[in-house]
Amino acid sequence: MNRHGLKKQNDNEKLDLLRPVAYFFAFLYFFLTLTHFFLLQETFKWILFTSALLTATISLFIGLKASNIPSPRHSLIILLLMLMASSNSLLHLWFSEAPEQTTNIFVTIIATGIVLSNRNHWAASVLFNWIGWITITMTLEMALTQHFFFAMAMSTLLSWFAHLARKKLVEKQLELEQERDIAIQHEQEAKATTEAKSAFLANMSHEIRTPMNGVIGMIELVSNSTLDEEQQDFVATARFCCNSKAKCRVTHDYHQRHPRFLKDRGW
pLDDT one digit per residue (tens) for the chain, 267 residues: 444 444 444 444 344 688 999 999 999 999 999 998 888 877 888 999 999 999 999 999 999 998 888 888 898 999 999 999 999 999 999 998 888 888 999 999 999 999 988 999 999 999 999 999 999 999 988 887 888 899 999 999 999 999 999 888 888 888 888 888 888 888 888 888 888 877 777 776 666 666 767 777 777 777 777 777 777 777 777 777 766 555 545 545 545 555 554 445 444
Looking at residue 266, its pLDDT comes to 46
Residue 37's alpha-carbon distances to 32, 33, 47, 52, 94, in angstroms, are: 8, 6, 10, 10, 18
pLDDT of amino acid 231: 73
What stretches of 224-241 show up as alpha helix (H) in DSSP?
A: 229-241
Residues 6 or more apart in contact with residue 10 via CB below 8 angstroms: 177
- State the pLDDT at residue 205: 66
Angle 150-156-160 from CA coordinates, rounded to 5°: 145
